[in-house]
A and B are shown apart, each in its own frame.
Chain A
Amino acid sequence: QLQLQESGPGLVKPSETLSLTCTVSGGSISSSSYYWGWIRQPPGKGLEWIGTIYYSGNTYYNPSLKSRVTISADTSRNQFSLKLSSGTAADTAVYYCARHPALEAAGTGYYYGMDVWGQGTTVTVSS
């Protein structure tokens, strides 16, 4: 059974970089059938897509966050990671990693919405 687990510091200082890792078990991020994404949810608010990666390194970012976001994959560890620079209080949220089924194989960039989610990890940006 596929499981995704987010990990990383729960507290980040303003202006610093938020770094999180998603560890995938029960499946391989190197599968051509899936993409892997990050989504966040500020306290008491709705969901916001951050970005998505294919194991080969192709990335797709939310235009509203693109200048601050880097998503990478480590296939040897079956993990993918999120870095969000220049953190502010507005970045305080629960961060989720998730799986996207590929619409077409071979990393063409066409993929469906998220179908399996991690439990989420809370990140607070505060001094």
Chain B
Amino acid sequence: QAVLTQPSSLSASPGASASLTCTLRSGINVDTYRIYWYQQKPGSPPHYLLRYKSDSDKQQGSGVPSRFSGSKDASANAGILLISGLQSEDEADYYCMIWHSSAWVFGGGTKLTV
């Protein structure tokens, strides 16, 4: 079982909100991890959006709009990237990442269609 699991795709309408999940493998407690989120558009490098561990330990990437926010769902053992007020330019692949077992580990990515 992969350390981080992301849905392969998600579709949402312009102006709506999208909740992208990053589920940690059973036995790995989401509470103890900083979860990072990256956006990648075709032909471009990943772009750092934010990191989230808790409301007191979080950081927004430089220039990243506040409509991108992070949270956790402890009951689902998952990190969440919430994108509100979806715009066509938000259409991209989104990757989550954590530091686990002495390595930076990425999720498989979610392709968001707007």
Contacts and interface: CB of A to CB of B under 8 A. Distances in A.
Interface of A: 37, 39, 46-49, 52, 60, 62-64, 96, 112-120
Contact of B61 (A47, A115, A119, A120): A115
Contacts, number: 54
Interface string B92-114: 00010101011111111100000
Given A113-B34, A117-B46, A63 B103 contact: yes
A113 B36 contact: yes
Given A114-B48, A117-B45, A46 B101 contact: no
A96 B103 contact: no
Contacts of A60: 102
B105 A117 contact: no
Contacts of B36: 113-114
Contacts of A48: 106
B47 interface: yes
A114 B36 CA distance: 9
Given A63-B102, A113-B36, A119 B51 contact: no
Interface in B56-114: 61-62, 95, 97, 99, 101-109
30 contacts: A37-B104, A39-B104, A46-B95, A46-B107, A47-B38, A47-B95, A47-B106, A47-B109, A48-B106, A49-B104, A49-B106, A52-B104, A60-B102, A62-B103, A63-B101, A63-B102, A96-B45, A96-B46, A112-B51, A113-B34, A113-B36, A113-B48, A113-B97, A114-B104, A115-B48, A115-B62, A117-B45, A117-B47, A118-B45, A120-B45
Nearest to B102: A63
Contacts of A113: 34, 36, 48, 51, 97, 99, 104
A112 to B, nearest CB: 7
A117 B39 CA distance: 12
Contacts of A115: 48, 61-62
